[in-house]
Amino acid sequence: MEGTTKKDIEGLLKNQGFNWLRSQRNRRIFVLGYALILALVASGSYYKQFKEWFAVDSLIPLFVLIAITLLTLAGFSLLRVSVRGIAEAPDELLDERQRSIRNSNYRYSYLLLGYVVIVFMILLSIAPETRPFSEGEQGDASFVYISLLMTMASLPSMVMAWRERDI
Amino acid sequence: MSKRKFIFFWFSPKTGRFVRPEVHVEIGEGMHLIEENFAKGMNSTLPGWATRFSARRALATTLGFMLIAIWTLSLSSIQLGWPEYLAMSLITFITLALLNFTFRSIFDSSDDHLDERLISLRNRYAFRSFQLVGLFVILMLSALNFADLDPSRLWLPALATYASIPYLLLGLQEKNFN
């Protein structure tokens, strides 16, 4: 259910690298940057030219697409490293203090999720298509959907990275 | 844990304070509970029906069925009149309000109104609720892939589900709450 493994979480909890991600200030900057990337990904659904550009027979759009994908995945991975995977860890891999931190952050994540749902519904109302991978000329909502899924997956880690001083 | 106050703007219907059950224990010539204080402290201010697990589970089940009905209607092409929608919304709202009452709006209360045990309970269910909503969003997106939906019809079920899930889980799982 948590989508992670014991080895993965234990590795993150003992991780000694990525010292630049340990200070709260750097983590907050990182969270803002990552949120910006997700917003940019979602905006892809609203530019017809964007979709047409990807359809052009050239290597540049392909490289841009790969770069965006890698940037999003790298952001997600680094976010997990910055909070040592606590947000996704199951109870049995955490001690009482870590469980308490995780659960309290989930409360704020759930409240924030309400705003995310409202924004998503508004975006969907003004999106050119509600189907994610349509072939229509107007573009489609797939970028909004990808952004929503990444936001859902990252939100607890983002909240934790933002709130906690020492992890 | 962070020492700074995390400011978050959120509507909270909670205005009163909780009556915290207190157990007084004397340490000295053998520990014993002061029974009078214990009984007084454990008295619930909720009406009898609201403290029964079976009643809360019945409310949660009704709410669950209402949510399923709302989602089914929204995802299908069935068009109902406004009286039907009004009745469904009212039943959902009343059930959720009753469930909310039986749990003393615990999920919408800030830390100041709760003791440590209640904070822990609330946060534990926030974790489960987030996971459930995540699963639900994935299911919804996969449904959207195959159906040509009017997004305006999804507002009511989406918001009703978001508001209900924490209390739904509490109602179905939490046996000891008074």
Q: What is the pLDDT of residues A60-109, one digit of tens each?
A: 777 877 888 898 999 999 999 999 888 888 888 888 898 999 999 999 99
Q: Which residues of A touch B124 (CB under 8 A)?
A: 103
Q: In this model, does residue B1 exceed pLDDT 80?
A: no
Q: For residues A119 and A109, what is the distance between their CA atoms, to the nearest angstrom?
A: 15
Spell out the residues 6+ positions from residue A148 whose beta carbon is closer than 8 angstroms to its own.
Answer: A42, A116, A120, B137, B141
Q: Which residues of A touch B137 (CB under 8 A)?
A: 148-149, 152
Q: Which residues of A touch B106 (CB under 8 A)?
A: none
Q: What is the pTM of this model?
A: 0.79
Domain ranges of chain B: 47-173
A129: left (phi over 0), alpha (psi -120 to 50) or beta: beta
Residue of A106, A118, A121 with shortest CB distance to B126: A106
- Name residues 99-158 of chain B within 8 A of A (Cβ): 119-120, 122-124, 126-127, 129-131, 133-134, 137-138, 141, 144-145, 148-149, 151-152, 154-155, 158
Per CATH, the architecture of B47-173 is what? Answer: Up-down Bundle (1.20)
> Per residue in B44-101, pLDDT tens?
677 888 888 999 999 999 999 999 998 888 888 788 888 888 888 899 999 999 999 9
Residue of A131, A164, A165 with shortest CB distance to B148: A131
> A10: which 2 tokens?
């234990």
Q: What are phi and psi of B172, to 5 degrees?
A: -85, -25
The pLDDT mean for chain A works out to 83
- Which residues of A touch chain B, with CB atoms under 8 Å apart? 1-2, 97, 100-104, 106-114, 117-118, 121, 124-125, 127, 130-133, 145, 148-149, 152-153, 155-156, 163-165
pLDDT score at A135: 60
Q: In this model, does residue B125 exceed pLDDT 80?
A: yes
pLDDT score at B35: 47
Q: In this model, does residue B9 exceed pLDDT 60?
A: no
- CB-CB contact of A145 with A129 (8 Å): no
Q: In this model, does residue A3 exceed pLDDT 80?
A: no
Q: For residues A76 and B77, what is the distance between their CA atoms, to the nearest angstrom?
A: 38
User: With an 8 Å Cβ cutoff, are B162 and A113 in contact?
Assistant: yes
pLDDT score at A159: 94
Q: In this model, does residue B42 exceed pLDDT 50?
A: no
> A48: which 2 tokens?
């017809």
pLDDT score at B31: 47
Q: Which residues of A touch B3 (CB under 8 A)?
A: 165
> Per residue in A37-52, pLDDT tens?
998 888 877 776 666 7
Output b/e per residue, B104-135; b: 16+ Cβ within 10 A.
bbbbbbeeebbeeebbbbbbbbbbbbbbbbbe
> Per residue in A137-167, pLDDT tens?
555 677 888 888 899 999 999 999 999 888 7
Q: Summarize the confidence of residues B129-148 as an average pLDDT.
A: 79
Closest residue, chain B, to A140 (C-alpha): B145
Q: Which residues of A touch B122 (CB under 8 A)?
A: 107
